[in-house]
């Protein structure tokens, strides 16, 4: 069975030239549904290559209006002290609050950090939630067995790394960490990390992740999908060896970092579809769509 993902005909849905201000790159947005609209938290780099985060809202999930003002994002204590370059915000709605997990580069390496918001205007730091080197944290949208759950990606000194799952009673103290046992992937020999927030289906938690491998010229990024056990998400039920998206189009192959498709957010539509928002070549925002049940079927048949 082939990947059920279909690239949107309007791709890229947001390019630097569509932005309401001078923009070098706009990519890897977190995404959620907020007050009846699709919301993206865009990672925006300007020509000084400094990073800002801007919300963008849409009625149909395709045409977005970008807020020209960046969000006012508070720094967690460690970031204040050591300086922080934040990126790749993943948004989880849990018990009516929106939690934002992101990577934070500091003097001594990269940590995962978290903040929360009710309105995407005011954010309150939850804190630094890992030791270095760690990134690609995604928080599950509900507690499991009374605990918060997240997937993250500890990174080894040579830059490789793989997804782990860990648990917390309070979002601050995390432990009982276990690696997620996915197969050795022909397209994922270098590293992998969680992408979208896990989606609950009756066959398991559906997780869309990225993985990379070195080719003769570049480190290529791919998207893959897997199903995790509903009651014990440390158990990988199905993880196909086929990728679901590779960088093929010009908007995925040419840009700041070539041959990259990278998701930090997918949003269910009211008719059972899934909008998978992803960065193309670390330069622009793109959209791929599928029916959730088709992606689940892909995992069941190929896993
Ligand atoms: C990863 C992250 C992503 C980025 C990717 C490709 O390490 O930094 O934000 O999209 O590299 O450059």
The model's pLDDT over 65-92, given as tens digits with 9 standing for 90+, comes to 999 999 988 877 788 888 878 999 999 9
Question: Residue 217: phi, psi to the nearest 5?
Answer: -115, -40
Q: Which pLDDT does position 139 carry in this prediction? A: 98
Among protein residues, the one with the nearest Cα to ligand 1's atom 9 is: 88
- Superfamily for domain range 6-302: Glycosyl hydrolase domain; family 43 (2.115.10.20)
What pLDDT, on a 0 to 100 scale, did the predictor assign at position 270? 86
Output the CA 87–ligand 1 centroid distance in Å.
Answer: 9
**How many A from CA of 282 to the centre of ligand 1?**
7
Rg (CA), the chain: 18
The stretch 162-182 carries a mean pLDDT of 97
The residue nearest atom 4 of ligand 1, judged by CA position, is 282
Pocket test for ligand 1, best of 254, 282, 284 (most atoms within 8 A of CB): 282
- 286: which 2 tokens? 């793109």
**Residues lining ligand 1, Cβ inside 6 A:** 28, 87-88, 221, 257, 260, 262, 279, 282
Global confidence as pTM: 0.97
Extract the tokens encoding 189. Answer: 């020999």
Q: What is the dihedral of CA 88, 139, 3, 58, to 10 degrees?
A: -60
| Residue 54 CA to ligand 1 centre (angstroms) | 18
Strand partners, 100: 91, 115
- Are the CB atoms for 7 and 14 separated by under 8 Å? no
Backbone dihedral angles phi then psi of residue 63, each to the nearest 5 degrees: -100, 115
Distance (Å) from CA 123 to ligand 1 centroid: 24
């Amino acid at each position: 069975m082939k990947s059920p993902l279909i690239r949107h005909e309007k791709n890229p849905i947001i390019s630097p030239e569509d932005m309401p201000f001078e923009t070098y790159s706009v990519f890897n947005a977190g995404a959620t549904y907020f007050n009846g609209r699709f919301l993206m938290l865009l990672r925006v780099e300007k020509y000084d290559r400094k990073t800002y985060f801007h919300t963008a809202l849409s009625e149909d999930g395709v045409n977005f209006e970008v807020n020209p003002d960046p969000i006012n994002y508070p720094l967690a204590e460690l970031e204040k002290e050591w300086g922080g370059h934040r990126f790749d915000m993943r948004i989880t709605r849990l018990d009516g609050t929106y939690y934002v997990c992101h990577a934070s580069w500091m003097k001594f390496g990269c940590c995962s950090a978290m903040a929360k918001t009710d309105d995407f205007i005011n954010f309150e730091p939850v804190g630094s939630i890992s030791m270095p080197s760690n990134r690609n944290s995604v928080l599950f949208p509900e507690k499991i067995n009374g605990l918060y759950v997240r997937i993250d990606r500890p990174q080894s000194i040579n830059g490789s790394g793989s997804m782990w799952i860990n648990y917390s009673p309070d979002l601050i103290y995390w432990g009982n960490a276990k690696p997620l046992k996915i197969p050795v992937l022909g397209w994922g020999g270098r590293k992998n990390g969680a992408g979208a927030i896990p989606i609950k289906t009756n066959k398991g938690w559906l997780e869309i992740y990225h993985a990379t491998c070195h080719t003769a010229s570049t480190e290529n990024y791919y998207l893959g999908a897997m199903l995790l056990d509903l009651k014990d998400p440390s158990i990988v039920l199905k993880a196909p060896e086929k990728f679901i998206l590779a960088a093929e189009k010009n908007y995925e192959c040419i840009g700041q970092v070539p041959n990259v498709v990278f998701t930090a957010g997918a949003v269910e539509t009211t008719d059972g579809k899934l909008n998978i928002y992803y960065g193309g070549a670390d330069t622009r925002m793109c959209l791929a769509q599928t029916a959730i049940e088709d992606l689940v079927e892909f995992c069941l048949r190929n896993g």
